[in-house]
Amino acid sequence: MSIDTLRYYERIGLVDPPARDSGGRRTYSDEDLARLGFLTKLRTTGMPIRMMRQYARARRSGVAGPALCKQILVEHRASVRARIAELRSSLDVLDHKIDNYSQIERDASAAEGRTA
């Protein structure tokens, strides 16, 4: 994760501003890093920033927080599963198409063999 992305996340309120050292520089605790790691995981699985902000807001909120967090994650998990299913079915199409091209190649080399 680039430093610019990190700043961007902080600006839009996706991550809490971390502590600063005496020189005014950010110091990330292990917990900060763990949270960032999880947020990155959410991003790479295709969760939009908007939803990540909802999740971050839920984390900060009180008693209702955990239930809301869980709900968002359950919802996201469903979409990840759907995405996996979509990709898997597309793999079949891709395999089929590739087989086709392999066949074309074989035909072409067979024709070449005859003309040679």
Partner DNA sequence: GTAGGAGCTGGAGTGCGCTCCAGGTCAACC
Partner DNA sequence: GGTTGACCTGGAGCGCACTCCAGCTCCTAC
Residues that bind a copy of itself in the complex, under the rule CB under 8 A: 38, 41, 44-45, 63, 66-67, 69-70, 73-74, 76-77, 80-81, 83-84, 86-88, 90-91, 93-95, 97-98, 101-102, 104-105, 108
Q: Which of 45, 79, 43 is nearest to 56 (CA)?
A: 43
49 lies in the site for DNA, by CB under 7 A: yes
22 lies in the site for DNA, by CB under 7 A: yes
Handedness of CA 19, 29, 14, 64 (dihedral sign): negative
Q: Which of 13, 15, 19, 25 binds DNA (CB under 7 A)?
A: 25
64 lies in the site for DNA, by CB under 7 A: no
- Which tokens is 68 given? 């809301």
In the complex, the smallest distance separating the C-beta of residue 87 from DNA, rounded to whole angstroms, is 16
Nearer to DNA, 20 or 70 (CB): 20
Nearer to DNA, 79 or 103 (CB): 79
105 binds, among a copy of itself, DNA, none (CB under 5 to 8 A by kind): a copy of itself
